[in-house]
Chains A and B, each alone.
Chain A
Amino acid sequence: DVKVTQSSRYLVKRTGEKVFLECVQDMDHENMFWYRQDPGLGLRLIYFSYDVKMKEKGDIPEGYSVSREKKERFSLILESASTNQTSMYLCASSPWGAGPSTDTQYFGPGTRLTVL
């Protein structure tokens, strides 16, 4: 089974702090994604990566950066956390290629981040 893990289920930080959210997948997937989930807004794509050291902006990249130094690990960084970044953050991964087996995204359990 594909396993995507996230470093914390719950996190509380203060405004202005630098925050790291870690995501690790164990299935050698090329693609990794960070989404933000807010009630009434669904999931919105922050950043994604197709390979090590590669990154692409999603729909809402402002205030975030990412790092992918190893294939299995994709980090989301909040350089200076703000209260409007309080949210649920979901990481996902998927393999490279086309077709049913490679099209599915596998999600982690999420990190509930509160910025005070």
Chain B
Amino acid sequence: AQTVTQSQPEMSVQEAETVTLSCTYDTSESDYYLFWYKQPPSRQMILVIRQEAYKQQNATENRFSVNFQKAAKSFSLKISDSQLGDAAMYFCAYRSEDSGYALNFGKGTSLLVTP
């Protein structure tokens, strides 16, 4: 079974600064997808960004970008110009072509944004 590891239970960043959340995964498969989901205090989980393993180019969505290192099995999330609304739990998730549509989640990183 694939494992997803988020080694930072909590992170803190000041408003307008940049923060990077770490994620590593373990897999023997070559075709897979990686995701970062955000869960604000209201609890509705939403997708932040998605990366396909066969694409070398790192995904970007506005202030959110990833650093995808396939050989190192690393998938970190960079949040630029942090805003108070970025405060949330962030989950890294993995899905393989062979496992269907179910996601395998990491344990999450709680991000605190200070004024």
Give per-residue flags for B1-39: 1 if the beta carbon is below 8 A from chain A beta carbons, else 0.
Answer: 100001001000000000000000000000001010000
Size of the chain B interface, CB-CB below 8 angstroms: 23
Is the Cβ of B101 less than 8 Å from the Cβ of A31? yes
B101 with A41: CB separation less than 8 A = no
Q: Is B108 within 8 A of A42, CB to CB?
A: yes
A90 sits at the interface (CB 8 A): yes
Q: Which residues of A are at the interface with B, using a C-beta cutoff of 8 A?
A: 31, 33, 35, 40-45, 48, 50, 56, 58-59, 88, 90, 92, 94, 96, 100, 103-105, 107-110
Complex contact B107–A50 (CB within 8 A): no
**Cβ-defined contact, A45 with B95, below 8 A:** no
- Cα A89 to Cα B6 in complex, Å, equals 21
B104 to chain A, nearest CB (A): 8
The segment out of B44-52, B66-74, B77-85 that lies at the interface is B44-52
